[in-house]
C-alpha cells in the first residue's frame, strides 16, 4: 500500500482490539511454548503443547493423505511424520475447527467446531472439577486432579513403544494391554495387528493378527528372548522384564531414552526398530519382525520344522524326525510314525511296557516351540529328561539357561530352525526310531561304501578311456587360446587393460555369454611380475605368496599365487572366483581377475599403496605415529563395515575365518580394505557348514570354539575382529604380548585395565595425546564384548557398528576373557599336533580330528 487514504482512516475498534491482543500475547507465547493445559483452557487446532525439554509436541495433525484432524503426540524434531500416540483414532474432527480442552467435569476432551465431544478420557466423577494436563519429556501426556495422576497416555498405547511405558498383563484383573497398529498410513484407527505380552504368562512377546498369533519372541531367559535369532544381551538398550510378582503386572521395558529411535508396530503388521540416520536424514530399519518367512507363527504347521532359504522368502518345511505326512499328503499335518512306548502300554495291563523304552532325539539351533510348560524342580538337564520320561504326556524337553526345565505336553507348534544360535531341543521318540538308524549304519554303510567306490572307479576308468582324446583336445584348445590371447595383448589389441581377456568357457566356448570376470593369461602375469621375481614379493600369507605387478597400461596389481593344496578343480575354482568377484564394497579389496595354468591358480587384486595394517600399528618407526586416534577409529569402523557386508549384506554371506592385521590393507588415503575373504570357499569348504575338517586361521585371532573344536560361525569372525580392535588401540600383538606385571596376555590385561578404569594404560603410548578417553573406552568395551568366550555372548557385526557409532549407550560389562591367546603354549591337544605351521604369525592350516 503506497499511501494512506484519508477517507478510510476511520477508527475501527474491532481491528484495534485484535491488534492489541496480537501484540500483547504473541511475545509471551513465543518465548516459552507451553507444556500444560489448565482448567478452562482450550488448545485450538493449529496450537501445540511442547514438552519442557523440547522433545515431544502435542497437537492436531492429519496423517498421510487424510484431511481428518486427530490429536496426537510426535517428536518435536521430526514433526508429524513421527506420530507416536493418537487420542481420537476413531473419531477425528472433519475440519480444522476442533480443539482439545479440559471439560467442566475435569475430563480431557476433544471437541469439534460445534463443541460436541468426539473423544473423552471418560473418568466418571473426579475428586474435583479442576484438572491439569501436561506433556512430559518422556512423551507421556498426564492428567492430574487433586494432586493425583488420574489418566495418562502411557496407559493407552497406540502403535509406538516408548521407554517408561508399562504395557503388559495385569496379573490381578487379567487385562492385557496391547499396542495396536494403524489401519493404514492415512488412518490411525485400529488395524488388524496388536502386540503385547503372552496372556499365559510365558514371558513371551506376541504379535497377533485379528487375535491369532502372527509372531512370538520366544521365552525371556533373563537376558534375551530365546526365539530371536542372534539376540545377545548387548542388543540395543537391553530390554528387561519387570519384577512381575511384586508389581502384580508383567511387562517389558527399556530404560535408555533416545529420541532418534522408535519401535513401531506398522500397519503391515511388522514391528520395526527405526533409527534416525543423521547423515542421510531418514529413518533406517535396524530390526524388524516377523522377518523372514519362518518367523511367521507356525509357518510350517504342527509337528514340522521351518528352515529359511537364503533370501528368507521360500522356506522349507519338514516333518520332525519320527513324524510323517498324513497318508503322504504334502499339505496335511505330520503325525508320529511309531507310537511312544508309554502310549502303547497305556491302559494295557497285560503288556507290562511292551517294546523298547522311548528315547530323546537332540535337535540343535532351534527356536523352541510354543506352548511349553515351565517345570519347576529339575536343576539340571538329566533331571529334566527324567521328568519328561516319567510323564507320558511329555513330548519333548529343553533345559534352557536362565530358565531351567521346559517340557512340552501339548502340540509342538512354531518350530524354526535357526541358521545360527538357537537352543537345544530334545524330542521324545519311540525306541525303535533310534534302532533303525543304528542298524542301518552298522549293516549297510560298509557295503554301500565299497559298492559305490567300485562303481565310481570302474566308471571313471571307462570315461577316461572313452574321452581321452576329447580331454586332450580340450587342453590343446585351451593352451592355444591362451597363447593367442598373449599375442593379442602384446600386439596392443587392448592396451589399457593389457593381458586381460574374457573367461574361457572350458566346455563350449561362448555358449552362456562371456562372464564378466577377466581371466589373465599366465604370460601376462609373468610379464607383470617380472616372472615372479623375489624383488616383487609383497609377502607370504597362509594361502601362498603375493607379488606386486604392473600391467602394460601402468596399473599396479597384486597377484596371489595360491598354494597347490586347495583341492579344487579348475571348474570349481572358476565358479568361486566369479562369485567372489561380485562382492564389492569399499572396505573389501577388489578382485580384478584370475589366472589358471595347469595346477597353478592365481588371483589378481587391486594394489594397495599403503600395504597392510600390521606394518603401521606394530611398527617401531614413525609409521606408527602416522596413525592418530581419529584414523585408527575410522580404520576400525571401516573393517567393521566390510565384515558386516561379508556376513549379512553380500549375496554369499561369507565368514572370513582369517581376519587379522596383515589381512587389512590400506589404500593411499588410509582406507582399510579386508583382503583374503572367500578363501575358505576357494579352499573347498562350504560357507554354510558349521564345522569343518580344515581349520584355517591364525593363532591369537582364533576364537575358542574354532581353535578347539573347529566350530565356526560369524561369531568366530567377531572374535577375531575384537582381537584386531584391541591390537589397533594398543599397538601390541596379541600373539606375542605378555604383561609381566599383571601376568596376563594382551586381552586379559586390556580387560583388567579397562575394568579398573585405567583405560589409557591400554592405549598405544604414541597416541595417548590424540584420543578422547570416552571414545577409546567405548571402543575397548566393544572389543571386549567381541572376545567373550561364549559365541552367544558376542554381539553381531551390526550391533558392533551401532555400538561403535553411538555415544551414549550403556554397554553391558564384558566378562573376563579366559581363552589363552597362544593356544600352542597352553597344553597341546590332539588336533594341534598335526597342525602345519607356516611361520610365526602366518596363517595355519590344520586338520582337526572331527
Please list the active-site residues.
658
* Binding residue (CB under 6 A) for ligand NAG from 183, 481, 488, 694: 183
d(CA 248, CA 255): 20
> Can residue 246 be called a binding residue for ligand NAG (CB under 6 A)?
no
Nearer to ligand NAG among residue 38 and residue 496 (C-beta)? 38
Applying the rule CB under 6 A, the residues between 451 and 470 that interact with ligand NAG are: none
**Separation in Å, CA 435 to CA 136, 235, 343:** 66, 43, 19
**Cα 457–chain centre separation:** 46
Burial status of residue 139 (CB atoms within 10 A of its CB: 0-12, 13-18, 19 or more): buried
* Binding residue (CB under 6 A) for ligand NAG from 34, 258, 555, 575: 258
Question: Rounded to the nearest whole angstrom, what is the least distance from the CB of residue 807 to ligand NAG in the complex?
Answer: 4
| Side-chain half-sphere CA neighbours of 243 within 13 A | 2
* Binding residue (CB under 6 A) for ligand NAG from 112, 130, 170, 572: 130
> Can residue 394 be called a binding residue for ligand NAG (CB under 6 A)?
yes
Nearer to ligand NAG among residue 575 and residue 806 (C-beta)? 806
Binding mask 86-115 for ligand NAG (x = CB under 6 A): ------------------x-----------
> Can residue 62 be called a binding residue for ligand NAG (CB under 6 A)?
no
Among 659, 654, 645, smallest CA distance to 685 is for: 654
Kindly tell me the number of DSSP H helices and DSSP E strands found in the chain. 18, 46
Helix (H) or strand (E) holding 453: helix 431-490
> Can residue 77 be called a binding residue for ligand NAG (CB under 6 A)?
yes
> Can residue 411 be called a binding residue for ligand NAG (CB under 6 A)?
yes
d(CA 231, CA 710): 23
d(CA 173, CA 180): 20
> Can residue 360 be called a binding residue for ligand NAG (CB under 6 A)?
no
**Separation in Å, CA 752 to CA 382, 633, 745:** 37, 22, 10
DSSP secondary structure code for residue 30 in this structure: H
Nearer to ligand NAG among residue 411 and residue 761 (C-beta)? 411
**Cα 76–chain centre separation:** 30
Question: Rounded to the nearest whole angstrom, what is the least distance from the CB of residue 640 to ligand NAG in the complex?
Answer: 15
* Binding residue (CB under 6 A) for ligand NAG from 188, 191, 315, 710: 191
Binding mask 11-50 for ligand NAG (x = CB under 6 A): -------------------------x--xx----------
Question: Rounded to the nearest whole angstrom, what is the least distance from the CB of residue 232 to ligand NAG in the complex?
Answer: 17
Among 212, 170, 228, smallest CA distance to 298 is for: 212
Q: What are residue 744's DSSP bridge partners?
A: 739
Question: Rounded to the nearest whole angstrom, what is the least distance from the CB of residue 804 to ligand NAG in the complex?
Answer: 11
Question: Rounded to the nearest whole angstrom, what is the least distance from the CB of residue 22 to ligand NAG in the complex?
Answer: 27
Cβ contact 169:201 at 8 Å: yes
Question: Rounded to the nearest whole angstrom, what is the least distance from the CB of residue 644 to ligand NAG in the complex?
Answer: 15
> Can residue 81 be called a binding residue for ligand NAG (CB under 6 A)?
no
> Can residue 242 be called a binding residue for ligand NAG (CB under 6 A)?
no
> Can residue 739 be called a binding residue for ligand NAG (CB under 6 A)?
no
Nearer to ligand NAG among residue 80 and residue 563 (C-beta)? 80
d(CA 648, CA 234): 18
Q: What are residue 261's DSSP bridge partners?
A: 275
**Angle of CA points 658, 661, 666, to nearest 5°:** 115
What does R_g of the chain's alpha carbons equal in angstroms?
34
Nearer to ligand NAG among residue 64 and residue 849 (C-beta)? 64
From the list 215-223, 255-263, 486-494, 572-580, the region that binds ligand NAG by CB under 6 A is 255-263
> Can residue 303 be called a binding residue for ligand NAG (CB under 6 A)?
yes
Nearer to ligand NAG among residue 39 and residue 431 (C-beta)? 39
From the list 325-333, 485-493, 594-602, 711-719, the region that binds ligand NAG by CB under 6 A is 325-333
Q: Hey, is 242 helix, strand or coil?
A: coil
Question: Rounded to the nearest whole angstrom, what is the least distance from the CB of residue 513 to ligand NAG in the complex?
Answer: 44
Question: Rounded to the nearest whole angstrom, what is the least distance from the CB of residue 75 to ligand NAG in the complex?
Answer: 8
Nearer to ligand NAG among residue 8 and residue 331 (C-beta)? 331
Q: Hey, is 246 helix, strand or coil?
A: helix
DSSP secondary structure code for residue 667 in this structure: -
* Binding residue (CB under 6 A) for ligand NAG from 242, 691, 806, 824: 806
Helix (H) or strand (E) holding 328: none
Cβ contact 291:215 at 8 Å: no
d(CA 712, CA 691): 6
Q: How far apart are the first and last CA of the chain?
A: 93
d(CA 617, CA 599): 37
Q: Hey, is 58 helix, strand or coil?
A: strand
Question: Rounded to the nearest whole angstrom, what is the least distance from the CB of residue 423 to ligand NAG in the complex?
Answer: 18
d(CA 261, CA 250): 24
> Can residue 502 be called a binding residue for ligand NAG (CB under 6 A)?
no
> Can residue 120 be called a binding residue for ligand NAG (CB under 6 A)?
no
Question: Rounded to the nearest whole angstrom, what is the least distance from the CB of residue 808 to ligand NAG in the complex?
Answer: 3
Applying the rule CB under 6 A, the residues between 334 and 353 that interact with ligand NAG are: 335-336, 348, 350-351
Nearer to ligand NAG among residue 149 and residue 772 (C-beta)? 149
d(CA 608, CA 672): 10
For ligand NAG, the binding residues (CB under 6 A) are: 36, 39-40, 55, 77, 104, 129-130, 132, 134, 142, 144, 148-149, 183, 191-192, 258-261, 275, 278, 302-303, 329, 331-333, 335-336, 348, 350-351, 354, 373, 391, 393-394, 407, 409, 411, 806-808
Amino acid at each position: 500500500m503506497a499511501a494512506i487514504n484519508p477517507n478510510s482512516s476511520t477508527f475501527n475498534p474491532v481491528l484495534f482490539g485484535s491488534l492489541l491482543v496480537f501484540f500483547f500475547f504473541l511475545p509471551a507465547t513465543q518465548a516459552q511454548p507451553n507444556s500444560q493445559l489448565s482448567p478452562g483452557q482450550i488448545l485450538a487446532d493449529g496450537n501445540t503443547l511442547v514438552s519442557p525439554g523440547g522433545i515431544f509436541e502435542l497437537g492436531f495433525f492429519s496423517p498421510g493423505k487424510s484431511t481428518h484432524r486427530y490429536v496426537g503426540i510426535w517428536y518435536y524434531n521430526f514433526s508429524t511424520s513421527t506420530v507416536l500416540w493418537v487420542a481420537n483414532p476413531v473419531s477425528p474432527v472433519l475440519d480444522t475447527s476442533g480443539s482439545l480442552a479440559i471439560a467442566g467435569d475435569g475430563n480431557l476432551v476433544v471437541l469439534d467446531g460445534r463443541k460436541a465431544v468426539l473423544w473423552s478420557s471418560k473418568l466418571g466423577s473426579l475428586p474435583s472439577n479442576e484438572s491439569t494436563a501436561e506433556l512430559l519429556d518422556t512423551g507421556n501426556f498426564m492428567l492430574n486432579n487433586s494432586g493425583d495422576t488420574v489418566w495418562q497416555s502411557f496407559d493407552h498405547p497406540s502403535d509406538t513403544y516408548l521407554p517408561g511405558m508399562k504395557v503388559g498383563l495385569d496379573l490381578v484383573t487379567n487385562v492385557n494391554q496391547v499396542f495396536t497398529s494403524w489401519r493404514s498410513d492415512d488412518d490411525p484407527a485400529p488395524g488388524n495387528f496388536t502386540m503385547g505380552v503372552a496372556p499365559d504368562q510365558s514371558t513371551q512377546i506376541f504379535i497377533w493378527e485379528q487375535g491369532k498369533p502372527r509372531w512370538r519372541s520366544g521365552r525371556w531367559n533373563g537376558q534375551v528372548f530365546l526365539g530371536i535369532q542372534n539376540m545377545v544381551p548387548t542388543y540395543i538398550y537391553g530390554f528387561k522384564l519387570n519384577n512381575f510378582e511384586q508389581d502384580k503386572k508383567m511387562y517389558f521395558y527399556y530404560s535408555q531414552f533416545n529420541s532418534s529411535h522408535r519401535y513401531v508396530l506398522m500397519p503391515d503388521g511388522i514391528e520395526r526398530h527405526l533409527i534416525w540416520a543423521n547423515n542421510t536424514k531418514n529413518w533406517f530399519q535396524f530390526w524388524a519382525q516377523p522377518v523372514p518367512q519362518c518367523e511367521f507363527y507356525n509357518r510350517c504347521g504342527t509337528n514340522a520344522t521351518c528352515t529359511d532359504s537364503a533370501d528368507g522368502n521360500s522356506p522349507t518345511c519338514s516333518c520332525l524326525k519320527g513324524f510323517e505326512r498324513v497318508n503322504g499328503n504334502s499339505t496335511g499335518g505330520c503325525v508320529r510314525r511309531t507310537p511312544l512306548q508309554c502310549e502303547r502300554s497305556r491302559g494295557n495291563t497285560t503288556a507290562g511296557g511292551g517294546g523298547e523304552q522311548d528315547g530323546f532325539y537332540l535337535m540343535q539351533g532351534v527356536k523352541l516351540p510354543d506352548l511349553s510348560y515351565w517345570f519347576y524342580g529339575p536343576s539340571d538337564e538329566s533331571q529334566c529328561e527324567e521328568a519328561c520320561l516319567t510323564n507320558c504326556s511329555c513330548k519333548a524337553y529343553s533345559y534352557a539357561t536362565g530358565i531351567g526345565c521346559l517340557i512340552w505336553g501339548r502340540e509342538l507348534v512354531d518350530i524354526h530352525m535357526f541358521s545360527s544360535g538357537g537352543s537345544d531341543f530334545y524330542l521324545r521318540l519311540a525306541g525303535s526310531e533310534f534302532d533303525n538308524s543304528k542298524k542301518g549304519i552298522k549293516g549297510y554303510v560298509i557295503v554301500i561304501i565299497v559298492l559305490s567306490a567300485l562303481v565310481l572307479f570302474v566308471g571313471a576308468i571307462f570315461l577316461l578311456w572313452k574321452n581321452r582324446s576329447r580331454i586332450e583336445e580340450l587342453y590343446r584348445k585351451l593352451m592355444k587360446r591362451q597363447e593367442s590371447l598373449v599375442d593379442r595383448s602384446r600386439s596392443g589389441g587392448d592396451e589399457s587393460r593389457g593381458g586381460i581377456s574374457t573367461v574361457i568357457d572350458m566346455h563350449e566356448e561362448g555358449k552362456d555369454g562371456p562372464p564378466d570376470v577377466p581371466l589373465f593369461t599366465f604370460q601376462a602375469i609373468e610379464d607383470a611380475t617380472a616372472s615372479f621375481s623375489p624383488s616383487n614379493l609383497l609377502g607370504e600369507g597362509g594361502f601362498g605368496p603375493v607379488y606386486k605387478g604392473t600391467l602394460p597400461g601402468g596399473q599396479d596389481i597384486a597377484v596371489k599365487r595360491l598354494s597347490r593344496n586347495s583341492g579344487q578343480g579348475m571348474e570349481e575354482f572358476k565358479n568361486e572366483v566369479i562369485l567372489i568377484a561380485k562382492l564389492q564394497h569399499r572396505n573389501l579389496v577388489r578382485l580384478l581377475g584370475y589366472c589358471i595354468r595347469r595346477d597353478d591358480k592365481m588371483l589378481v587384486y587391486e594394489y594397495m599403496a599403503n600395504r597392510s595394517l600390521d606394518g603401521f600399528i606394530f611398527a617401531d618407526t614413525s609409521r606408527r605415529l602416522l596413525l592418530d586416534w581419529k584414523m585408527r577409529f575410522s580404520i576400525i569402523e571401516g573393517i567393521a563395515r566390510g565384515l558386516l557386508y561379508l556376513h549379512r549384506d553380500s549375496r554369499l554371506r561369507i565368514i572370513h575365518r582369517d581376519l587379522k592385521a596383515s589381512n587389512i590393507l590400506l589404500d593411499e588415503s588410509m582406507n582399510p580394505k579386508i583382503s583374503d575373504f572367500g578363501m575358505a570357499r576357494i579352499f573347498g569348504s562350504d560357507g554354510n557348514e558349521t564345522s569343518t575338517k580344515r581349520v584355517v586361521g591364525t593363532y591369537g585371532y582364533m576364537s575358542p570354539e574354532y581353535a578347539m573344536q573347529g566350530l565356526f560361525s560369524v561369531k568366530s569372525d567377531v572374535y577375531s575382529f575384537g582381537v584386531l580392535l584391541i591390537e589397533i588401540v594398543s599397538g601390541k600383538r596379541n600373539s606375542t604380548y605378555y604383561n609381566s606385571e599383571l601376568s596376563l596376555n594382551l586381552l586379559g590385561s586390556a580387560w583388567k585395565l579397562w575394568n579398573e578404569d585405567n583405560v589409557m594404560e591400554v592405549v598405544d603410548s604414541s597416541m595417548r595425546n590424540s584420543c578422547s578417553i570416552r571414545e577409546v573406552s567405548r571402543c575397548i568395551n566393544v572389543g571386549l564384548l567381541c572376545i567373550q568366550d561364549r559365541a552367544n555372548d558376542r554381539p553381531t557385526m551390526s550391533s558392533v557398528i551401532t555400538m561403535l557409532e553411538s555415544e551414549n549407550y550403556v554397554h553391558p560389562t564384558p566378562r573376563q576373557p579366559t581363552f589363552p591367546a597362544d593356544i600352542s603354549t597352553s597344553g597341546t591337544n590332539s588336533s594341534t599336533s598335526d597342525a602345519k605351521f607356516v611361520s610365526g604369525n602366518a596363517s595355519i592350516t590344520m586338520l582337526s580330528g572331527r
